[in-house]
Structure 1
Amino acid sequence: MPPLGRFAAVLALALAAPLAVLADFNAEPPNAADQSPAFAGQTRAPVMAQAMRLMRQPLVEDLRHPWGMALLPDGGLLITERPGQLRLYRDGGLSAPISGLPPVDARDQGGLLDVAIAPDFARTRQVWLSFSEPRGGGQNGTAVATGRLSPDGAALEEMRVIFRQQPGVESPLHFGSRLVFGPDGYLYVTTGERAIPPDVPVAQDLGNHLGKVLRLDPATGQAAPGNPLARTRSAQPEIWTWGHRNIQAAALDGQGRLWTVEHGPLGGDELNLLASGRNYGWPVISYGLDYGGGSIGQGITRQDGMEQPVYYWDPVIAPSGMVFYDGAMFPEWRGDALIGGLRAEALVRLRIQGDRVTGEQRLVPGIGRVRDVEIAADGALLVLIDDDPGQLVRLSRRGTVPD
């Protein structure tokens, strides 16, 4: 398309896009009407008004349930598709599926999930993938593999599985699977509780990897030095935090602190600021209800020895994917968290001051099920829309058109 035609197409999408904030989403009644926050501002933060229109440009429109992405130093983008494909988007084109991947169990919520690259990728070309690994007999488990992307980007070489969640479970749900490199160089891996009913509190059992955040040596998959339970008998040494439901959003802030967002049940999605060796409560405490409308366990929201979420949503946004904005295009957003909303069908922006949420906004409402979000080199946002066909979409400030 000639430059003038491309500009007109992008401008038309921008003019058709809704305002960044519409009606007050806080007006929707909660599911757990009898519950109350533990402190002011823990839920339903003030809606941040913003009249700016975002330009919305589809870059790829024929993805199959895209789940995760990683931005490469040269501007390329690795994108996972849940059925088991990894693709490279570069210079406006999408590659054929990259070869060398391990087999996946792609039933329901399973499949090829997150992707991360080495901090020194430009030199090593090392890539990590999380996925639901078939174990036989109908069982599966969250696993992490690593390999080297070939110079032509067509294959993952020397691929090996370095971590396998224990035990295997006969469930196609709640794999967690976000991958984050910490400032210490170790790999943080989120897992889900595999949708095992709350009356079996697997996320509280330190003898398994379910409903945990794990801290691993990225080369070997073994427990990283200094993990809090390394000397605890019968505990899995990879555990860094526990008591989680299903974490599908995780990111470092500008101070290098790890934040996660986990799916609650009927209400009770949680934003947590993680600290080593802490218990985040599921399923003993929860802001939310069982899907049938009853209470979770004893229906309590706080207990000594268990951490309170920094923020929670009821009704849920169904979170997936997260970044802290540090780009140049939207300087007024710097330091804010941007979280994908599957049920919200929007990009959820949180203003965070210290360790408290002071404002919330829903960007591009109606865009679809936002599965992941990245920041492009120029500060624009790249979002994955989870569908079949799914999309990679660029969101930018009006008046900025890519070359």
Structure 2
Amino acid sequence: MTGPVIDLGVLRHGAEPDPDPSPRLSRPPRANGRRLRCALVLLLVLVTLGAAAAPPPRRAVVTLPVPPGADVLVDGDLLLSIESTGASTLRRRLAAYRLPEGVPLWQAPLSAEARYWGLTLLDGMVLVTGYEIGPGGRGTLTIALDRATGAYRWQQPGSGTELADGNLLLQSGGEGEPVGLRVVDPCCGTVRWQVPPTADVEIQHAGQRANRVVLYRRNGPTEVRDAATGAVLARADLRPPGQGPLDFAQVLGDLLVTMGGEPSTVTAYGLDRLDRRWSVTVGPVEFATDCGVVLCLRTGANELWAIDPTTGVTRWRSDRWRWGWSYDGRLMVSADGGGPLERYLVLDALTGRQLADLGQWQLYQLGVGGKLLGTRRHPDAGVLVGELDIRAGTVRVRDVVPAATGECQAITGNLLCATPDGSYQLWALPD
């Protein structure tokens, strides 16, 4: 079944006019033509009545035995749920259910009192990340459990990023504290190399995996290290002129972008040798991100700047957009929406020209690099589901999920949504 398409931001020409609109003469209809038309009309009536009498197709809906307030993640045929074990919200367990039936498979207590917020699947393990606040200590930690059985494997401080060689990079600290690094084997937690908490950290990714790490200090040298071995690849003092503190550094593609000094200056360095490429004064910067053919800077003056990554030349700037990112060769930006919704638009990255307005949605992505789905409350109840085609600038309505509150997670071919009573239901999306 193909849903209707809402065409947003795409101009279409009207139908071609009849080149000869004058009335035409025709011979009177013959009797056999009337009989044929009557037969066709009767056939159409019968087909319509038959379709109306047929029961509507049953929707594939599964109610899952997950308690209200749980944090859930779906991986293939497995649904994982972080659930409370009693009166204390800090005592949690991880439960696994087989999809699509929702049959319980196993449950395992989590070994530390913490506010858990992350679930990651890696090399047959389930990595549960949270912030420990119990009597055993304070700080971020990761617990590894066996995906098939829930058996406890190991526990380490920090939150994890997968490396290109399959090992796991764990970062501890943050939130104004120096970040410590350790790389461990996911099978058993064996430490491969580590750095004590002495610096802030940025990571370069090759696809979805960490490739290199940057350790920078506000009043000291900056290092680029190989993420697999910890070997130092480049080292330099990147503090701004006058030796003022370095406010922040950020990896954007093959560049390391820093900000600091008076007035506030953004400077780009090549990540291989930390060689200076360009510098531009823009005032305080809240964040920077790779927007494909440009770099996006969000300034303290509530402006979004598009910077040429090769020369540092400002391509355009606007106070209309909150933030931007590259998707499918286009630049998506967001503006203020209504409540939890964001308004999404598509721009030409080099000029800032608006190409399409996609409307207000909560966005979900179907896997890495997969399709974008948007949800929003339907006026009559439930949740409207749309598929966003960024390159075409269109939204195709995929479904209306009647018993959902809008707390959803996209899975290939399915949508997992919370219901008003706090339970979860899995809805099969139509093609």
Q: Does the pair score TM above 0.5?
A: no
Higher relative contact order (CA 8 A, sep 6+): 1
> Which of the two has greater strand per residue?
2
Q: Which has the larger radius of gyration?
A: 2
Measured against the shorter chain, the TM-score band is 0.3 to 0.5
TM-score by length of 2: 0.39
What is the TM-score with the length of structure 1 in the denominator? Answer: 0.42
